[in-house]
Chains A and B, each alone.
Chain A
Amino acid sequence: MPPVLLRAAQVTRRYGDRVVLAGVDLELAEGELVVLLGRSGAGKTSLLRLFARLEEPDEGALFFDGAPLTSHDPRALRRQVAYVAQAPVVFPGTLRDNLTMVPRGIIAPSEAQLVAQLEAVGLAPERLDRDASRLSGGERQRLCLVRALLMEPRVLLLDEPTSALDPAHEQQLTALIRERVARGGAALVITHSERVARLLAGRVALLADGRLTPLDAEAQRAFFHEEAP
């Protein structure tokens, strides 16, 4: 049995009176990819943010690598459990500036790593010294994924990583995510696209009414059918 990297145990999260997560249980083992489905506002993003420890659960506990999230240094934890938000954040400066920004005490990625990673997502390495603010929505999304991958994290938490991509890049990116997982990582990916869910080919779970339930192939088809009539 591969070790469990991430675990949520009876996690509840409320915002004011609104209960977004009501006793969620989830296990993500090494080499595993979980696709998270659910309507807008179902709490998918909250779950990812809880695993990145950007917020705290109201009840229940979360674990990384067998130890409670609260027992890890949040800074070290976030480099191992990489969260990429839905809205891509590009910092002022060049692509290189964006990819080599690291906190004190961390070694910035090498030129070879930058080139390899950019090529892997279909961004030309010649653009490393161009102004990052000129990137299109899809390019920004890929830049943010590259920035996360360069940390060599063990777990990827991706919030709709392909929402602004064309089908070719969608395929390239999902293949990259799968390859990372196959190399001993794990990923929890939110998507609204049936095609992306199929390309990722992971275990599928639906978040609805604050609870997480596994979905088989038929239930998935039903979900996407309802989602886009």
Chain B
Amino acid sequence: MTESAQVAASLDIPWSRLSLLALLILLMLVLSRWLRLGFERPLLIASLRGALQLTAVGYVLTALFALTRPELVFTTLLVMLAVAGRTATSRAGRQLPGVSMVATLTMGVGTGLSLLLTTQAVLGVTPWYSPQHWIPIGGMLLGNAMSGVSLASERLTEEIEAKRGEIEARLCLGYSGHEALHPLVARSLRAAMIPTLNSLTVAGVVQLPGMMTGQILSGVSPLIAVKYQLVILAALVLSVTVSSLLFLRALAARHLTAAHQLRQL
């Protein structure tokens, strides 16, 4: 057995112990029943779903890491991007057509840029398309960009609906469509950034960020784990900001006509 295989074996949790988790869930099911909280069904479904999805992902990642083929890495990332694009805009009520495509494209640019910088310039991974780096980091960046775009989309749509009079008053002073929407775009961007900024503010104080926790648990020195976490946080800020801002500009443009009018929904 090689050294790294030994480390891996010592870190592994046997399935028999892992199944103790099922007992915890069972305990909560009993509790919910006993206190008549009524969340047995959603808890059961969510737990099963989560367990199955994560197990499946474990096998898929193992296969991807073993194959180390660039086309597989990027196809996986594209599938993740497509799902994120659909999810980001699915909850915002009345939407203009094509908004989920806009979300997908802008998140692709924001996350792609951030991923390229992180993996190539900062980490310098080999091979350059190393699936161990591209896929997990890409997933983290996409997840956060998705929340950002989702918040941005909801906020801007609401603001435009509520502030039509204000926007048109600005247009009537000779402002361009984008100038007239700018204060709303800026407010929506700030709203989109709040979760990311909050997590930056409390990083290490209130909670150890997830990736750092994982690395420390698997035996990496905390100082190295911190360095990786800093890289990820910077990458997150970049991808959330770029994705949200591009998305907001594109969404604003969809609400405007070439004659600097606010489109009637």
Contacts and interface: CB of A to CB of B under 8 A. Distances in A.
Interface stretch (B73-81, B105-113, B162-170, B204-212): B162-170
**Interface of chain A, main secondary structure:** loop
A66 B168 CA distance: 25
Interface in B166-205: 166, 168-176, 179
Interface in A52-102: 52-56, 70, 74-76, 78-79, 82-85, 87, 89, 91, 101-102
A106 B261 CA distance: 20
Contacts of A151: 173-174
B260 A82 contact: no
B259 interface: yes
A144 B169 CA distance: 9
B6 interface: no
A103 interface: yes
A104 interface: yes
A54 B264 contact: no
Contacts of A53: 259, 261
A154 interface: no
A204 to B, nearest CB: 25
A79 B170 CA distance: 11
A147 interface: yes
A174 B4 CA distance: 88
Size range of the interface on A?
20 to 34
Contacts, number: 57
Contact of B176 (A75, A82, A102): A75
B165 A54 contact: no
Contact of B174 (A55, A76, A85): A76
A103 B174 contact: yes
Contact of A74 (B170, B179, B259): B259
B169 A78 contact: no
Nearest to B168: A54
A52 B262 CA distance: 13
B174 A54 contact: no
Contacts of B166: 89, 91
B174 A79 contact: yes
A74 B261 contact: yes
Contacts of A144: 169
Contacts of B262: 54
Interface of B: 165-166, 168-176, 179, 259-262, 264
8 contacts: A53-B259, A54-B171, A54-B262, A55-B264, A76-B174, A78-B174, A79-B174, A87-B165
